[in-house]
Amino acid sequence: MTITNLQSILNRLATKPRTIALFILAHLVLLLMMLFTFPHINAQLGTEAFDLKATGYSIEEATLMLQSLNQEIVDLYLFPQLFLLDVLYPFLLALLLSVLIIRLSGLINLRPRLLLSHLYLLPFLAMLLDYGENMLIAKMITTPNHVSETIINTASLFTQMKSGVTTVCWLVVIVLFFVWLVKRKRS
């Protein structure tokens, strides 16, 4: 798929009803994670799950977390958390944020040739970082006694980068929204 094809698909999704539907779908999946899987995982770990530690985690912290896991929680973490819900959520969130960026860029008449007009790709970077994080977490929790410091550090870095890029995406949406509000008020 080329960038042009992706932008075409996203433009078709950038209608008000489809944007609302993406918002609802993404946040329903997030709600499922926050109500059903993360409470069990967090309770067993005695802290937030790896995915939720936006600022990352140290080798010592990760080692303690891995030692506190039991097979039931590992199974829950793998499925449905990592390989169902945390596959759906990053994808739906990337679609939502991209559609919001495209929709708002159109509403403020952002010129298509500007570098800023390609900001809709940024949420897909966050999605890929999230998927990389998931693979590394799966590796850590399935082989807790054989996890290298490199794997832990890389997983922590992916978690931090995912959180940072996602935050930037939301900031872009907020800035575009305020620009639209100002332009709307002036006209």
What are the domain boundaries of the chain? 3-186
Give the pLDDT score at 115.
73
Give the pLDDT score at 187.
83
Residue 90: CB partners within 8 Å, gap ≥ 6?
A: 126, 127, 130, 131
How confident is the prediction for the chain on average, in pLDDT? Answer: 96
pTM of structure: 0.95
* pLDDT less than 70: residues of the chain: 114
Give the pLDDT score at 2.
86
Give the pLDDT score at 102.
94
